[in-house]
A = this chain, B = another copy of it.
């Protein structure tokens, strides 16, 4: 069930808007990405919440996080966002696979310093993860803003990989009396769970 990577980094300035739209759709459906970077020759991969502002991937974290500081200093990174869409069960192990969509973005992040811009981007992040939520929340305080690092990574140098569709069995295996097909997979939301300290008269908002 190989997810074959093509790890060749290609700079493709001639890439069309269709690829960009596909990349954005992968981001917009995702809540987290995996951020890869290298420190002292050791690779690290860290899961982070994400958002998008036009052609910028948004990441945030604590100002005391070493990772956020290093990224803000321009450490090269690779952010990979993957949707597992299905298990592709062929009549042999060898031809079994996965359906998925995956985006790798390469680059260096930029720190958002300006307070208004930071506020706007943090709102984008909240809306990305819980659309409609910013209407209900109070504004962040200056102290909260100062405790948060907000990074933008240009969606510029990237690779999209995907597989879709049924298994591709070897012709010789087609007569085998073994079930073949796809088990669809998706990240899905369950029933909201009230906070224990929620007042009795506060109801679940429509957007949730």
Contact = CB atoms under 8 A, between A and B. Distances in A.
A48 B173 CA distance: 25
Interface residues of A, number: 103
This protein's copies in its complex: 2
Interface in A123-140: 123, 125-126, 129-130, 133-134, 136-138, 140
A32 B166 contact: no
Nearest to A180: B195
A20 interface: no
Given A1-B49, A32-B82, A93-B137, 16 more contacts: A3-B32, A4-B62, A5-B47, A7-B44, A38-B38, A38-B43, A87-B130, A178-B202, A179-B192, A179-B204, A179-B205, A183-B190, A184-B189, A184-B191, A185-B189, A188-B188
Interface of A: 1-5, 7-9, 31-32, 34-39, 41-49, 60-62, 65-67, 76-80, 82, 84, 86-87, 89, 91-94, 96, 98, 100, 102, 104, 106, 122-123, 125-126, 129-130, 133-134, 136-138, 140-141, 144, 147-148, 166-167, 169, 173-199, 201-205, 208
